[in-house]
Amino acid sequence: MSTTNNIAQARKLVEQLRIEAGIERIKVSKAAADLMSYCEQHARTDPLLVGIPTSDNPFKDKKPCIIL
């Protein structure tokens, strides 16, 4: 019966919303501060931020040396 299905679905939805409503939440300002802190801490070791010296660049095409 579609009505029984609807009720079953509605019950499931209520159960799901109860789970989601019950969690602890931290302040957005704290979340943002933590994200910023992580970025600052790891900035120096992020090759795409710091840059990669040519000699260490794994993707750079290595041209053969020509001895003149």
Partner 1 sequence: MAAEKAEMDVLKKECDGLRTQIEAARKAVNDGNMTSAAGSATEVGRVQLKLRKSLKGHLAKIYSMHWSSDSRSMISASQDGKLLVWDTHTGNKLVAVPLKSAWVMSVAFAPSGNLVASGGLDNMCTVSNIKAASPKTLRELDAHTGYLSCCRFLSDTEILTASGDTTCCLWDLETGKQKIIFTNHIGDCMSLALSMDENTFVSGACDSLAKLWDLREGTCKQTFSGHTSDINAIQFFPNGNAFVTGSDDCSCKMYDLRSDQEVITYQDGSLNAGVTSVSLSNSGRLVFAGYDDFNCHIWDSLKGEKVGVLSGHDNRVSCTGVPADGMGVCTGSWDSFLKLWN
CB of 53 to partner 1, least distance (A): 11
> Two tokens at 26?
């931290």
Applying CB under 8 A, the residues found at the interface with partner 1 are 3-4, 6-7, 10-11, 13-14, 16-21, 23-36, 38-43, 45-49, 52, 57-61
Closer residue to partner 1 in complex, CB, 2/67: 2
Closer residue to partner 1 in complex, CB, 18/66: 18
